[in-house]
Amino acid sequence: MRTGLLGVGWDDHSSHARGPARAPALIRAALHDPAGNPFAADLTNVLDPDILHDHGDCHLAGDADDADRITAAAAAVLESGDALLTLGGDHAVTYPILRAVAARWPGVRIVHVDAHPDLYDDFEGDPLSHASPFARIMEQGLARRLLQIGIRADTPHLRAQAERFGVRTYPPDDIDTALMAIAALGDGPVYLSFDLDGLDPAFAPGVNHHEPGGLTVREALRIIDALPGQLVGADVVELAPARDVNGTTATVAARLVKQIVARIHRGG
Ligand code: MN
Ligand code: MN
């Protein structure tokens, strides 16, 4: 399957600091950086136009209709027949994206890498907050299953929300159990939502919410390769360029993108 790339520079619903709106161009630049080569670990050439097609950036106007614009842009990529890979933006992008993904792939299962569960019912009065996308997704039945990996910033409210929605949560120490749970999802459509703060800030300092004790890049690549079934969509979110150091986090994001594109290309 070909991957359709879509930039979604939306951070109006960040709770703490802005910045991820500027991330798509930087991840693209890292992907095309001549200091590296375009091959994934399995030797897929991820810059081959038959393997990766860039649909450009979602047009946003900074008003209340932007969520609908993101849903429409995601739907257009899926209607082209491509698997959808979006470059965020903060994590608020995932709810409008999943409205499009669930319409095309009912029963999709989500694998979510993050330090945070992002299950707040209503964070600081904003139901579209980047801390709330998975509450919206689960209460609207947009995903059949939700597995969360790398979680280490839980609260009593978030734990109750996870129980309410039947979400399985794996802290970083449970990576091996998480990999088995991912494999056990079996056949059918799968979506990967990757918040870069799921990684340890030593690997990915360019995020607004540092939570030490996170996943390694190698573990993240293992998660991508463990995804079963058909990978129909993915997002890479929360890159905050002003916090990055020497483009390290953008380069990590590009590495994840390569692994995701190769996984989509292999099919399932
Ligand atoms: Mn998140
Ligand atoms: Mn996070």
Q: How far is the CA of 237 from the centre of ligand 1 (A)?
A: 7
**Helix, strand, coil % (nearest 5) of the chain?**
40, 20, 40
Q: Give the DSSP H or E segment for 234.
A: strand 230-237
Residues 6+ apart with CB under 8 A from 134: 94, 110, 112, 117, 118, 119, 146, 148, 165, 167
The pLDDT score that the predictor gives to residue 155 is: 96
For ligand 2, the distance from its centroid to the CA atom of residue 155, given in whole angstroms, is: 13
Q: What pLDDT is attached to residue 6? A: 98
Q: Is residue 15 pLDDT above 90, yes or no?
A: no
pLDDT for 127 equals 93
CA of 50 from ligand 2 middle (Å) equals 33
More confident residue, 255 or 15: 255
What's the pLDDT at 146?
98
pTM of the model: 0.98
pLDDT in tens, 65-104: 999 999 999 999 999 999 999 999 999 999 999 999 999 9
CB atoms within 10 A of CB 165: 16
Strand partners, 168: 147
Distance from Cα 49 to the centre of ligand 2, integer Å: 32
Structure confidence by residue, pLDDT tens digits, 93-136? 999 999 999 999 999 999 999 999 999 999 889 999 999 999 99
Domains, the chain, ranges and CATH?
A: 3-266 (3.40.800.10)
